[in-house]
């Protein structure tokens, strides 16, 4: 019986010592995984902070663009030479009707006012992509509004 008990103690001791090193390798593996997850979480948090900063910057740009839209500051988006040419052509077209109507504003004023309305409503890229018929239709309400300045 003593031999069996001693043998069992030796077997248990051997298995405990071997499982202890196995446990240590498992613990070491788990510690490495925790460090990896911690680093990943830190990187994720930093990425989230960077994304939040980008979102804030884009929101500021959007707010600034909205303010420009409201105030009319974005008018400069239409090149000056384009604006001058548009007003010259419009003036030639409108001149006869404006001169015939004594209560009408001067043709150049009607055209400048109409162009301001168009520039507030449409981007030049959008406007330029249209046919002449559509451009004329887009300008018509502004010409009517600006006729009697």
pLDDT tens-digit readout, 24-51: 777 777 788 778 877 776 776 777 777 6
pLDDT band at 7 (very low <50, low <70, confident <90, very high): very low
Average pLDDT on 52-60 reads: 67
Q: Is the pTM of this model over 0.75?
A: no
> Under a CB-based contact definition with an 8 Å cutoff, are residues 131 and 114 in contact?
no
Report the pLDDT value the prediction gives residue 145, as an integer from 0 to 100. 96
Average pLDDT on 78-93 reads: 95
pLDDT band at 16 (very low <50, low <70, confident <90, very high): low
Report the pLDDT value the prediction gives residue 30, as an integer from 0 to 100. 77
pLDDT, greater one: 74 or 113: 113
CA distances from 16 to 4, 37, 50 (A): 18, 30, 50
Q: Is the pLDDT of residue 1 over 70?
A: no
Strands (E), the chain: none
> Under a CB-based contact definition with an 8 Å cutoff, are residues 98 and 126 in contact?
no
């Amino acid at each position: 019986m003593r031999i069996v008990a001693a043998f069992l103690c030796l077997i248990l001791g051997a298995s405990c010592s071997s499982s202890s090193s196995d446990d240590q390798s498992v613990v070491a593996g788990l510690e490495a995984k925790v460090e990896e997850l911690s680093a990943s979480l830190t990187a994720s948090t930093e990425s989230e902070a960077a994304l939040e900063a980008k979102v804030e910057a884009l929101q500021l740009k959007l707010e600034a663009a909205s303010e420009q839209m409201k105030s009319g500051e974005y008018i400069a988006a239409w090149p000056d030479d384009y604006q001058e040419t548009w007003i010259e052509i419009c003036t030639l077209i409108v001149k006869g009707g404006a001169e015939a109507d004594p209560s009408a504003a001067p043709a150049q004023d009607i055209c400048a006012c109409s162009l301001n309305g168009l520039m507030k409503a449409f981007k030049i890229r959008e406007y330029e992509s249209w046919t002449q018929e559509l451009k004329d239709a887009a300008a018509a309400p502004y010409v009517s509004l600006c006729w009697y300045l």
